[in-house]
Amino acid sequence: MGGIVIAHNACLLGHSDADVLLHAVTDAVLGAAALGDIGVMFPDTDPANRGRDSAEMLRAAWAAVAALGWRIGNLDCVVFAQRPRLAPHRDAIRRRLAEILGTTPERIGVKATTGESVGPIGREEAIAAECVVLLEAV
């Protein structure tokens, strides 16, 4: 999650590698630049996207955004997950996101919250992520 491996007894399922945080970041940067969303750029109807590395998708999306003359002002992410606990991995995730986006970890916020044992997130049936990005003209 977030481009790093976090040991856990369960895994995320999806058409690509299912990195929920990298997918949310990809949607945020594409949306902020009015370039659609991850499904437009990487449709699940394209067999080439089956099992695809989410970091590769984010790099490609970021390249398209940067080509329009944007850079990251800041990125704020929240992960909704009962488990695994993300606090011990927060700095590693921030560094990995910074590496992919060509910015510094100081411009990236990552936080997590649980479902308080309620709903699909609280019952550990799902994990979700939301991200907001501020783009600055270069």
Rounded to whole angstroms, what are the CA distances from 44 to 21, 40, 82? 18, 9, 27
- pLDDT tens, the chain, 138 aa long: 898 888 766 666 566 778 999 999 999 999 999 999 999 999 989 998 888 899 999 999 999 999 999 999 999 999 999 999 999 999 999 999 999 999 999 999 999 999 999 999 999 999 999 999 999 999
CATH 3.30.420.10 fits 20-137, yes or no: no
Closest C-alpha to 85, from 108, 110, 120, 53: 110
Q: What does the domain layout of the chain look like in residue ranges? A: 20-137
Question: Mind listing the pLDDT tens digit for each residue in 115-131?
Answer: 999 999 999 999 999 99
The pTM (predicted TM-score) of the whole model is 0.92
What Å distances lie between residue 118 and 1, 77, 138, CA to CA? 22, 21, 44
Phi, psi of 4 (to 5 degrees): -125, 160
Q: Tell me if 31 sits within 8 A of 37, measured CB to CB.
A: yes
DSSP-assigned letters across all residues of 50-71: TT--HHHHHHHHHHHHHHTTEE
pLDDT at 51: 81
